[in-house]
Chain A
């Protein structure tokens, strides 16, 4: 880094410390024997006792299972819907209702969640009152509620990917005799697959993580994992939550490392290809 960049460099390092210290502290204290979260009990630590507590907590396990099912469904549905919306917005040119769709796909990203949650719950209640559906709040309403904001993220991801690739690829396929449906399956979808995958992962995370909307639309019998955590930590610090956090952080970290290694390998391959092509030019 040049001398000119020292200030921003220092800020970057401090900012990263700021972002990672809380996460690191949870990981460290998850192995702490003391009930007092921040007092390190050197005599009995490190210990896995909070992990044992966590895994014997039926409420947590039940909630995690519900969250998993909700997140899988919500992310899959929102990937399909977001893919459709993204394609419509970036490939169909002007059409009637375009600004409506555009507005509705960007607004949920910034909409305060209490408002989305309240409005969804009131809708569900009004619907139930009017047509008897849905039957009370539960997994179904959770999924419906999560899809609406998850698909907004997928749409943005798909749109920016489509903006980055040459539309003449699709025209070329059509020129070579492929019908529109064929163009989509043979050309468009394979090319934006990485965006669809990352949109799905993002939706999964958002749904898995969502608290506020779930608080509104979950109903009494169906608490998601964040809801259980929230009720625990509202009552004060609870060490088994550190253990849960550590598990979640390690899953994400493993995923990231695997993805990074894979990307690195792919990049190295494409660098080699570029050299090959350069050699062919000689």
Chain B
């Protein structure tokens, strides 16, 4: 299209510039500081460029990274975060797929149900996570109910366990799984399933051979949308998670705020990012393909 080139340049330039300044460059700052060492000063790290005999010299420290990879505490935190994120992604998929499937097939109720899925998203995430404390704690609602029913004789410890952490993450991220799955499943032509059943496929076989393969892009998008942010989750593990094993988001924040070790916090962030580069690129590819298919 023709049009005034000056206007076009502004429309492209302003958001690009904003994001470069406030999204891209900050990462470069983090990267830079991760190659420094902590010291008592303002700011609390050593500059990378130092003057020696009047010449600027680049002084790169790898000590933060070395510390990260040799200290089992950090390695374990990374592995634990990946494990939690993976388990929660699978749980979200197992719960979210049937829900998305049911909504896609719900006819006139579709929009209402979709609204019900999105609605919690509009109310405070923090408050919804907080609500689980009241439900899961030893004298909480769930233990009360189970005790009253006589199912258990002593309250079960649920808070600050892996269980409560999974519940919290699955609960918070479920809509992110359901929405892309729904968007995919809703596009399926019901005639395909009719054709499969006409050709003799039982319902489950039809699902496995027709619906499931077609919904793979939705599964991929939903899983990545849950997995990526879950790895770095901070609020949920703080409120609901274990105290003896913390996730990497907590580690980062502790190093930064409590130990004031900015280079180490930055190195933690850089390594998390490196772990997430592949999933993020995958996600962008899946989404682009879905957008082009429309």
Contacts and interface: CB of A to CB of B under 8 A. Distances in A.
A82 interface: yes
Q: Categorize the interface residue count of chain A.
A: 35 or more
Interface string A1-30: 100110111011001101111110110010
B33 interface: yes
B131 interface: yes
Interface string B152-175: 000000000000000000010010
B98 A11 contact: yes
A112 B266 contact: no
Contacts of B269: 114-115, 118-119
Contacts of A93: 1
Interface string B256-294: 100000100110010011001000100110011001001
B55 interface: no
B241 interface: no
Nearest to B125: A209
B4 interface: yes
A245 B266 CA distance: 35
A199 interface: no
B113 interface: yes
Interface in B1-34: 1-4, 7-8, 10-12, 14-16, 18-20, 22-27, 29-30, 33
Contacts of A242: 134
A212 interface: yes
A52 interface: no
A54 to B, nearest CB: 13
Contact of A112 (B4, B30, B119, B276): B276
Interface stretch (B57-65, B66-74, B139-147, B212-220): B139-147
Contacts, number: 268
With most chain A CB atoms within 10 A of its CB, the pick from B26, B135, B256, B262 is: B26
29 contacts: A8-B101, A11-B102, A18-B95, A23-B128, A29-B134, A38-B144, A81-B14, A81-B15, A88-B12, A88-B15, A92-B1, A95-B12, A101-B16, A104-B19, A112-B232, A112-B249, A113-B232, A115-B269, A122-B266, A123-B25, A148-B18, A160-B291, A179-B4, A209-B126, A212-B234, A226-B124, A229-B130, A237-B134, A252-B123
Interface of B: 1-4, 7-8, 10-12, 14-16, 18-20, 22-27, 29-30, 33, 43, 95-96, 98-99, 101-103, 105-106, 113, 115-117, 119-128, 130-135, 137, 139-141, 144, 171, 174, 203, 224-225, 228-229, 231-235, 238-239, 249, 252-253, 256, 262, 265-266, 269, 272-273, 276, 280, 283-284, 287-288, 291, 294
Interface of A: 1, 4-5, 7-9, 11-12, 15-16, 18-23, 25-26, 29, 36-39, 81-82, 84-85, 87-88, 91-93, 95, 97, 100-116, 118-120, 122-123, 125-126, 129, 144-145, 147-148, 151, 155, 159-160, 163-164, 170-171, 174, 179-181, 205, 208-209, 211-212, 215, 226, 229-230, 233-234, 237, 241-242, 244-245, 248-249, 252-253, 256, 260
Sorted nearest first, the 9 A-B pairs with minimum C-beta distance are A112-B232, A119-B26, A22-B131, A180-B3, A11-B98, A12-B102, A8-B102, A85-B15, A8-B98
